[in-house]
Amino acid sequence: MKLIDNWKQAWKLKSVQVGAVSAFFYALILFADQFVGIWNLIPQDVKNMVPEQWKEVVGCFVGVAMVLARLKKQPELHDVNQFVTITAGHSNADPGAVSGKYKEAELVRQFRNAVAHYLVAAGLSYKTDGAGTINLPLTNAIALAKGASIAIEFHMNASANSQANGIETIALPKDKVLAQKLSKAVADVFGSRLRGQNGWIDQSKSARGKLGFVNAGGLIVELGFISNEAELTAFHSKYWSAAKAVAQVIIEHEKALK
């Protein structure tokens, strides 16, 4: 095979540039699921090493991959017309509770991403308040909760008492059973106890008062106490397994609506 003259400068040709871009997006479409899965597996400490000037580009890249992954036909739940909402508590501007170097907003963002990974694998349609390191404010989460068949936001509790522990889900009475299933899924993996009524905290009896996300029809899952060293350790070592268990509860809930 004979190459064209000045082939080393071929990258300057519009036809080559268009072809390269087309090949890139074709590969992204083919391997969107795998890319999202790999991204979610990367430790947060490694993601934080991405240069500031590249973070927006990487965030957009991940977002496009997630959209393409959702658009690809998935057989398991292709006939389910509902969509679910999963969001991470607090935001990039609001860290939530802090324990040493760990911030609630960052931990629950990791959990949200892990749940999203399993929902993508199941072919379940969902909406979220961000991808990768993005965690949008509460107003976005509340907007996403409206119209969803199920809306779940992840948080972590905190207390001045370092021994305070347990898993709970705050919800309206109509979602009591679902709240209990979600709490049990997390508690079984983390080896934690259930707070409230077998994991359910009635919104009207919550010490936090009226919560906007719950009032919009959502459920808030408290994934343990960030202030409890044992529960924080369990979270770090088992959150992928807990996310898989939570995703399974969501999948079964959606199948029941068919």
Listed in sequence order, the residues at least 6 apart from 26 whose beta carbon sits closer than 8 Å to its beta carbon are none
Nearest to 103 by CA among 116, 113, 92: 92
Which of 21-30, 80-89, 148-157, 197-206: highest mean pLDDT?
148-157
185: pLDDT strictly greater than 90? yes
Total Cβ atoms within 10 A of residue 159: 13
Positions of E strands within 11-135: 84-88, 98-99, 102-103, 126-128
pTM, full prediction: 0.71
53, with CB counted inside 10 A (0-12, 13-18, 19+), is exposed
200: pLDDT strictly greater than 70? yes
Q: What is the pLDDT of residues 30-88, one digit of tens each?
A: 555 555 555 555 665 665 666 665 655 555 555 555 555 555 544 444 444 468 999 99
Q: Where are the domains of the chain?
A: 12-72, 75-256
Q: What is the pLDDT of residues 154-170, one digit of tens each?
A: 999 999 999 999 999 99
163 touches 170 (CB < 8 A): no
Residue 92 DSSP code? S
Tell me: domain 75-256, CATH 3.40.630.40, correct? yes
CA distance 134 to 117: 15
The mean pLDDT of 139-165, rounded to a whole number, is 95
